[in-house]
């Protein structure tokens, strides 16, 4: 009887080795000697976006520092006024950065003297748009009123938290189903969950572009940008204790 038990255990170990090689799961032994089946699971939920974050920049360059500052300030105020006029709340327009620096004009014009400089002023802000259908309208308003950089557009959803919970449940179900199928194939019984690790691999859909580096848009029309879906991805690593 003891010999039969040993042979059965060896057969189980051989099957485990083969399945590990070809089905992509691991077996292990916990610190207290419990035999484990280790699997991964994934859950995915996709949502239509209802929030858009738009990163806008205004870059001005002049040989006179005060002129560079004044022109940049004028463009910033023009863009903000245009945004307010189309219904963007002032609280949804946030300053991100402001910089002023100089560079030798010689690097652009080798006839320039050693004391001639170009002064650059850069102002950037983030717009939170709560109606994704107005995206192209907002971009047109920015570009046509002095913005010359659109450095990023990111979509998100107010339903992300609920979607995360559902994706996590789907990931756990996926891992549990895999473990049960493996146990059935091995002829063993799942006893309980020994450990679980949850990882959030979600990301919003991102679109990035540079809208020129010179003056404002001068009546330009921005390209039509269609939002994608916001994906909420959750991965789990689970260890299941089993018995022969």
Walk along the chain (244 residues) and give the pLDDT tens digit of each residue. Answer: 443 444 444 544 444 444 444 445 566 666 567 899 999 999 999 998 899 999 999 999 999 999 999 999 999 999 999 999 999 999 999 999 999 999 998 888 888 888 899 999 999 999 999 998 899 999 999 999 999 999 999 989 999 999 999 999 999 999 999 999 999 999 999 999 999 999 988 765 444 433 443 445 555 566 667 677 889 999 999 999 999 8
pTM value surpassing 0.85: no
pLDDT of residue 202: 73
pLDDT of residue 219: 57
pLDDT of residue 137: 94
- The secondary structure of 88-142 as a DSSP string is --GGGEEEEEEEEEEEEGGGT-TTS-TT-EEEEEEEEEEEEES-GGGHHHHHHHH
In sequence order, the 6+-apart residues with CB closer than 8 A to the CB of 102 are: 65, 117, 118, 119, 120
pLDDT of residue 83: 97
pLDDT of residue 56: 96
Q: What is the DSSP letter of 13?
A: H
Could you give the CA distance from residue 236 to residue 175 in angstroms, rounded to a whole number? 7
Q: Is 42 helix (H, G, I), strand (E, B) or coil?
A: strand
What superfamily does domain 51-158+203-231 belong to in CATH? Protein of unknown function (DUF541), domain 2 (3.30.70.2970)
- H helices then E strands: how many in the chain? 4, 9
Give which of 24, 52, 49, 48 is closest to 38, Cα–Cα: 24
Sequence spans of domains, the chain? 2-45+160-201+234-243, 51-158+203-231
Q: What is the DSSP letter of 148?
A: -
pLDDT of residue 106: 80
Do 168 and 234 meet the contact criterion of CB atoms below 8 Å apart?
Answer: yes
pLDDT of residue 223: 65
Q: Which CATH architecture has domain 2-45+160-201+234-243?
A: 2-Layer Sandwich (3.30)
Give which of 149, 162, 233 is closest to 199, Cα–Cα: 233
Helices 135-143 + 65-85 axis angle, to 10: 150
Residue 64 phi, psi (nearest 5): -110, 125
pLDDT of residue 61: 96
């Amino acid at each position: 009887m003891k010999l039969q038990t040993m042979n059965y255990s060896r057969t189980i170990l051989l099957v485990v080795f083969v399945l590990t090689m070809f089905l992509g799961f691991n077996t292990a032994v916990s610190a207290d000697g419990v035999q484990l089946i280790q699997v991964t699971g994934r859950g995915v939920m996709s949502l239509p976006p209802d929030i858009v974050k738009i990163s806008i920049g205004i870059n001005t360059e002049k040989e006179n520092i005060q002129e560079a500052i004044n022109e940049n300030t004028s463009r910033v105020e023009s863009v903000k006024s245009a945004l307010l006029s189309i219904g963007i709340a002032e609280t949804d327009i946030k300053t991100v950065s402001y910089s002023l620096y100089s560079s030798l004009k010689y690097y652009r014009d080798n006839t320039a003297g050693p004391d001639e400089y170009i002064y650059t002023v850069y102002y950037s802000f983030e717009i939170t748009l709560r109606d994704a259908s107005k995206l192209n309208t907002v971009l047109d308003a920015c570009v046509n009123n002095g913005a010359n950089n659109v450095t990023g557009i990111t979509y998100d959803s107010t339903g992300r938290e609920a979607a995360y919970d559902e994706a996590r449940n789907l990931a756990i179900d996926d891992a549990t189903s895999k473990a049960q199928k493996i146990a059935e194939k091995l002829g063993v019984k799942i006893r309980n969950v020994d450990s679980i690790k949850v990882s959030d691999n979600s990301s919003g859909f991102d679109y990035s572009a540079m809208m020129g580096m010179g003056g404002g848009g001068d009546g330009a029309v921005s390209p039509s940008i269609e939002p994608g879906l916001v994906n909420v991805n959750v991965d789990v690593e689970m260890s299941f204790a089993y018995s022969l």
